[in-house]
Amino acid sequence: MSVHSLRGFRDLLPPDSTRFAAIEAAAREVFALYGYQELRIPTIEMKELFVKSTGETTDIVEKEMYAFTDGGGREVAVRPEGTPGVVRAYIEQNLSQTGRNAKLFYIGNMFRAERPQAGRFREFEQIGAEHIGNAAPFADAETITMLVRLLEKAGLAACSVELNSLGCAECRKTYRQTLLDYLKQRAEMLCEPCRGRIERNPLRALDCKVDGPWLAEKAPKLTLCAACAEHFTRVQDLLKISGVPYNVNPNLVRGLDYYTRTVFEVRSSALGSQDAVCGGGRYDDLVKSMGGPAAPAIGWALGVDRLAMLLKDKPVADTSPAVFVVSAAAAAQDQAFRLLAAMRAGGVSADSSNFTLSLKSQMRSADKSGAAYALILGEDELKAGTVAIKPLKQAGDQQPVPFADAPSAITKLLEG
């Protein structure tokens, strides 16, 4: 048997894994600034949770979900997105009763059985934020501002937000019928899946990868009710106060059923056809429709794989050890092992190869490791109770220091 990974699933090695970790660290820093707390949600949930919240007629549920019957006969699914799990937890854990804002973030892998291609994987990472229980436009502006600051912190300069409002259930009621009539008259122009679902959800056609572009130009547009129009204006005013650049894009519809009012996306043409880095929006009716309290909410999900692609030319943090310990004599091996422990206990990152290998081979590994210094222990050092420090990145002779002083001596050298 030859082992190999599944199509659409991949291994992340340095520097990619380092870059992912840096993005996550930047996100955590920004979330803390905005009062968000981490929620860790399960990877597998009841399939019904996604069908009901993400929506029956969405691509995710219709085509992309990894769903199966488990050993106990339960219909389950591996999460394709985070929001349904967060909403379930909010309801199940009574998070509306905690007396504080439910401002939650998650970091985790999502799974969708879509066609693998550049920027599209079957397992990918999302960083997501959900603010539940706040209907005011301040929440919209805050979460969008936070997203932009997070992208900046991660290293993505000058991104602009595409912004639109999808209105509320009220404004959509009449629009739904208008759009349905329009689509029905042109049914023969629609792709097969759209034809099949317009009766159930005509709005989905607007987000279809095939029909969306021409419908965006030709189909009748939604008119917002007075309250939704006011909300949308306020969001824009507040984004101006935050200094967040945005572009109102009336063709922006999002592929999930639960959105109401504000929707947004951050895109980058540098990504090619899979250009969305992040998407989000308000979902004022979802919590209630899932059996929870009437809790208006807004959130977004950021695709870490795509963000990492955009940052691929930026340097990542050096993961090389500071020092590389070398044993130059069989008798010095235990002392070398002791030295490794002492360095690490002193807060100095330290590595070694196999102490039983030749000095030459260990020195070769030291050079390859990227360490700034080799710490060499031979017969002489063992007798004298010292360690020899040898610079690897610049010229210079070996210098002996007392064994106990090695960590502080290295710390001084690294600082100087």
Query: Counting contacts by CB under 6 A, is residue 81 touching ligand ATP?
Result: yes
Residue number closest to ligand ATP, CB atom: 303
Of 36 and 300, which CB lies nearer to ligand ATP in the complex structure? Answer: 300
Of 256 and 323, which CB lies nearer to ligand ATP in the complex structure? Answer: 256
Instruction: Kindly identify the residues of this chain, within the stretch 25-54, that bind ligand ATP according to CB under 6 A.
Output: none
| Residues 6+ positions from 208 with CB-CB distance below 8 Å | 191, 193, 194, 215
Q: How far apart are CA 375 and CA 408, in angstroms?
A: 13
Instruction: Kindly identify the residues of this chain, within the stretch 223-262, that bind ligand ATP according to CB under 6 A.
Output: 255
Q: How far apart are CA 37 and CA 89, in angstroms?
A: 14
Residue 63 CB, shortest distance to ligand ATP, in Å, is: 11
Query: Counting contacts by CB under 6 A, is residue 126 touching ligand ATP?
Result: yes
Residue 81 CB, shortest distance to ligand ATP, in Å, is: 5
State the SS3 of 178-238.
HHHHHHHHCHHHCCHHHHHHCCCCHHHHHHCCCCHHHHHHHCCCCCCCHHHHHHHHHHHHH
Residue 364 CB, shortest distance to ligand ATP, in Å, is: 39
Among 85, 212, 292, 303, binds ligand ATP (CB under 6 A): 303
Residue 265 CB, shortest distance to ligand ATP, in Å, is: 7
Q: Which stretch binds ligand ATP (CB under 6 A): 17-25, 210-218, 301-309, 360-368?
A: 301-309
- Say what angle helices 137-154 and 226-242 make with each other, to 10 degrees: 40
Beta strand 386-391 pairing with 399-402: antiparallel
Q: How far apart are CA 374 and CA 376, in angstroms?
A: 6
Q: How far apart are CA 278 and CA 129, in angstroms?
A: 11
Among 120, 234, 338, 390, binds ligand ATP (CB under 6 A): 120
DSSP label of 6: P
Q: How far apart are CA 337 and CA 356, in angstroms?
A: 12
Residue 319 CB, shortest distance to ligand ATP, in Å, is: 24
**In which residue are the tokens 């610079």 written?**
391
Q: How far apart are CA 126 and CA 382, in angstroms?
A: 52
Q: Are 223 and 20 in contact (CB under 8 A)?
A: no
Q: Which stretch binds ligand ATP (CB under 6 A): 85-93, 119-127, 216-224, 237-245?
A: 119-127
Q: Which stretch binds ligand ATP (CB under 6 A): 36-44, 112-120, 286-294, 369-377?
A: 112-120
DSSP label of 61: I
DSSP label of 374: E
According to DSSP, the residues that pair with 263 across neighbouring strands are: 164, 281
Of 24 and 114, which CB lies nearer to ligand ATP in the complex structure? Answer: 114
Number of residues that bind ligand ATP (CB under 6 A): 18
Among 306, 321, 324, 365, binds ligand ATP (CB under 6 A): 306
Among 47, 103, 112, 282, binds ligand ATP (CB under 6 A): 112
Residue 46 CB, shortest distance to ligand ATP, in Å, is: 19
Query: Counting contacts by CB under 6 A, is residue 301 touching ligand ATP?
Result: yes
Residue 247 CB, shortest distance to ligand ATP, in Å, is: 16
In the stretch 269-288, what mask flags binding to ligand ATP with x, by CB under 6 A? -----x-xxxx---------
Residue 277 CB, shortest distance to ligand ATP, in Å, is: 5
Residue 142 CB, shortest distance to ligand ATP, in Å, is: 19
Q: Which of 155, 179, 80, 88 is nearest to 123 (CA)?
A: 80
Q: Are 366 and 316 in contact (CB under 8 A)?
A: no
Contacts to ligand ATP by CB under 6 A = 81, 112, 114, 119-121, 124, 126, 255, 274, 276-279, 301, 303, 305-306
